[in-house]
Amino acid sequence: MNIITIENVCKNYKTKKALDNVSLTIKKGELFGLLGVNGAGKTTLIKILCGLTYKTSGTIMINNFNLDKEIDKIKEIIDISPQETSVANNLTVKENLEFFANIYNNNNANTVNKIVDIFNLNEVVNQRAKTLSGGYKRRLSIAIALISKPKILFLDEPTLGLDVFARRELWNIIKKLQKDITIILTSHYLEEIENLCDRVAILSNGKLLKTGTIKELKQMTKAKSFEDAFIKLVEAKSE
């Protein structure tokens, strides 16, 4: 069953086409990767899906709600962890989680404690967010996105700027989450996409190049590694 259906979506800025006739579907419970080099249109697509920016044309259905007409219903079932670790800096970890839980009328001690446990935030729970390390901040940012118990979670470059250990730890957490919710993840780390995602969409200059599993994309391009497959697809488009 498709939880997100995107049909012929375009996004034009004054001098640039950020998305050019993009169509794709994402299944319920899938961990779906949006892959592309910088400026490919990944973040723009996520912003449109979250109602943070307007699309120029096309149709988007999320959980059978039309994005143009039922954005309020969509906002109840989605959450996002943006590229930037956007947390309330002067609030403690616990206060941050409680604040976001209250927005969704979901604040009870159990929910907060459970999230603190899942993300191993126990030792910093009473620490102000501005004093946290990059890894902890990123974990808090994703934990905040989960406190609303979303049906769909957007993770925009979730491991950007993290060291290899913090990245691996986050991967493990994301893998655990996948069982319950649909996750749309953007990254330009190929190994991250390869490790985590069930299916991948490759974007380049606003255009959707291909969609499929890692295996399918490798077979399609007759490449040995996913990195080779990605490079072949992007280069073939630009030629």
List residues near another protein by CB under 8 A: 13, 50-54, 72, 75-76, 78-80, 82-84, 86-91, 95, 99-100, 102-105, 128, 144, 148
Instruction: Check if the beta carbon of residue 28 is closer than 8 Å to that of residue 8.
Output: no
Q: Which is nearer to another protein, 16 or 114 (CB)?
A: 16
Instruction: For the CB of residue 144, give the shortest distance to another protein in the complex, in Å.
Output: 8
72: number of Cβ within 10 Å? 9
Q: Which residue type occupies 133?
A: S
Q: State the Cα–Cα distance between residues 85 and 129, nearest whole angstrom.
A: 10
Q: Which is nearer to another protein, 80 or 190 (CB)?
A: 80
The angle subtended at Cα 149 by Cα 193 and Cα 86, nearest 5°, is 65
Instruction: For the CB of residue 52, give the shortest distance to another protein in the complex, in Å.
Output: 6
- CB neighbours of 227 closer than 8 A, spacing ≥ 6? 190
Instruction: For the CB of residue 237, give the shortest distance to another protein in the complex, in Å.
Output: 26
Token code pair at residue 187: 């990254």
Token code pair at residue 30: 């899938």
Instruction: For the CB of residue 195, give the shortest distance to another protein in the complex, in Å.
Output: 26
Q: Which is nearer to another protein, 74 or 190 (CB)?
A: 74
Q: Which is nearer to another protein, 57 or 213 (CB)?
A: 57
Instruction: For the CB of residue 79, give the shortest distance to another protein in the complex, in Å.
Output: 7
Q: Which of 84, 145, 155 is nearest to 118 (CA)?
A: 145
Q: State the Cα–Cα distance between residues 158 and 187, nearest whole angstrom.
A: 8
Instruction: For the CB of residue 185, give the shortest distance to another protein in the complex, in Å.
Output: 16
Residue length, the chain?
239
Instruction: For the CB of residue 149, give the shortest distance to another protein in the complex, in Å.
Output: 13
Distances (CA, A) of 238 to 19, 52, 132, 230: 16, 29, 42, 13
Q: State the Cα–Cα distance between residues 2 and 231, nearest whole angstrom.
A: 29
Q: Which is nearer to another protein, 83 or 195 (CB)?
A: 83
Q: Which is nearer to another protein, 72 or 239 (CB)?
A: 72
Q: Which is nearer to another protein, 25 or 106 (CB)?
A: 106
Q: State the Cα–Cα distance between residues 2 and 212, nearest whole angstrom.
A: 15
